[in-house]
Structure 1
């Protein structure tokens, strides 16, 4: 019997087979879940191709989290493949290059607003859009990068992650009475396509394996994906508003 037997999950953010979300989808299927993916625009065909590399090819529905039309249509589109949702994975983040890589002070509001909308507000937007398909015992799980600190080169994406973490707590408050849990996984640096687009990403990951008590492999998304799968399961029935660190213990160490 798998950890996610019979679960029906909506997973965003599958772009390449190196994506954390891809490995969440793979593990979820291996643990008995039925998976639906989302993508949009030029990435849609790429996601459809990558979806065929899963143990069970997964359907892909169109969703741009900044499009009110897509958000309004999400429940209907997902409903074409599953009759309900037991879990939603938020693996969405974007910031223009102009607000990364040491450009904190020069960042302009229009670009900062894009980072905040796509990377933080989208958690609320996605949860509300999927809410009609979710019932008691459902879970929303997102991915963050420890927002307690000002990281080198992360700049306004770090601010967006802080907003994401706050958003998850308010969602936990407001969706809790309906029996819907909302949690985040704070992963150490993982060399996904998104991470590689951050100017100077190697500065962020530098020294991590040496300073994390358990060590850390930035090329291995498996530990993070397993944590997401666990939070989607029934094994955390009373946990919500939490940020679970999967970083080799780095977050607990002094500098």
Structure 2
């Protein structure tokens, strides 16, 4: 039986632990027949290399700081030589300085805000632009980014919330810009998961995690990134050829409920 991602060549950013969404996506993609390359940078590069050994098939890790054009260009050159094309990319990169989170919305400096926007928002477009030719060689391919619902205020999320709003708009514009080459561009908005990124927003994450089961009709397990990873794999596959510029919520349905009580158990 042909696997969902048989023969696909995928670039995955943002793997720091085996609990991360990016790791779940990479693991599931390999199980479905894909070839994977991961990226990391700085002190995190060795961490990513160690985590890569835990995948079903240990893979190469390339250095790529998304704020450094020369790093992006070097990875493009490597994958051009290695594969000649790229079928899919996961943008799982986000960061905001502490001053821009946890109540710092009104006090954060432009330097810190610009860092958050550069890494969390602009880099999504930068990857699309740089890898566009390799995606085109694969018949278009699929770029997927990680999102968190930006339609309302989340206490303590502050400038990261603004960055995610920009990411959502950037997704639509990038989908429009790359549609002519058949590249699909989408975001997956996950519910709260216990990842390195979640730890960066401090005590506010506990509030998110506590409220989610009271809202999500399907329930929510903050320790399980597998449902999000499966959705990413579906977007990388050939099964959704006309889906682009979209935000797909994988949050148990919480985004659709304004206020509620724990859903009744099925059955």
Q: Given the two structures, how large is their TM-score scaled by the length of structure 2?
A: 0.93
1:204 and 2:208 matched: yes
Shift of 1:102: 1.0
Q: Distance in 2 between matches of 1:207 and 1:192?
A: 17
- The answer to whether 1:239 aligns with 2:243 is yes
Structure 1 contact 39–64 (Cα < 8 Å) conserved: yes
Q: CA deviation at 1:72?
A: 2.1
Match of 1:194 among 179, 192, 197: 197
- 1:169 counterpart (159, 169, 172): 172
Q: How does 1:1-255 map to 2 (within 5 A)?
A: 1-135=2-136, 136-200=139-203, 201-255=205-259
2:96 and 2:52 map into 1 onto residues whose CA distance is 25
What do residues 47-72 of structure 1 show as CA deviations (whole Å, max 9, x unaligned)?
11110100011111111000021122
Aligned 8 A contact 1:59 1:81 in 2: no
Q: How far off is 1:126 after superposition?
A: 1.1
Residues 115-144 of structure 1, C-alpha deviations (whole Å, 9 max, x = no match)? 000000000011112122112240000000
Unpaired stretches in structure 2, ≥5 consecutive residues: 260-267
TM-score (norm 1): 0.98
User: Distance between the aligned counterparts of 1:205 and 1:112, measured in 2?
Assistant: 25
Does structure 2 retain, via aligned residues, the 8 Å contact 1:61–1:78? no
Check conservation: 1:13, 1:21, Cα contact below 8 A. Answer: yes
Q: Is the 8 A contact 1:74 1:129 kept in 2?
A: no
- Asked if the contact 1:36–1:81 (Cα under 8 Å) also holds between the matched residues in 2, the reply is no
- Pairwise CA RMSD: 0.9
Describe the SS at the equivalent of 2:82: coil
Alpha-carbon distance in 1 for matches of 2:82, 2:49 = 15
Between the aligned partners of 1:137 and 1:112, the Cα distance in structure 2 is 33
Q: CA deviation at 1:75?
A: 1.0
Count of aligned pairs between the two proteins: 255
**In the alignment, is the contact (CA less than 8 A) between 1:153 and 1:204 conserved in 2?**
no
Q: Alpha-carbon deviation of 1:79? A: 2.9
Deviations 1:137-194 (A, max 9, x none): 4000000001101101100000000000111100000000000000000000011011
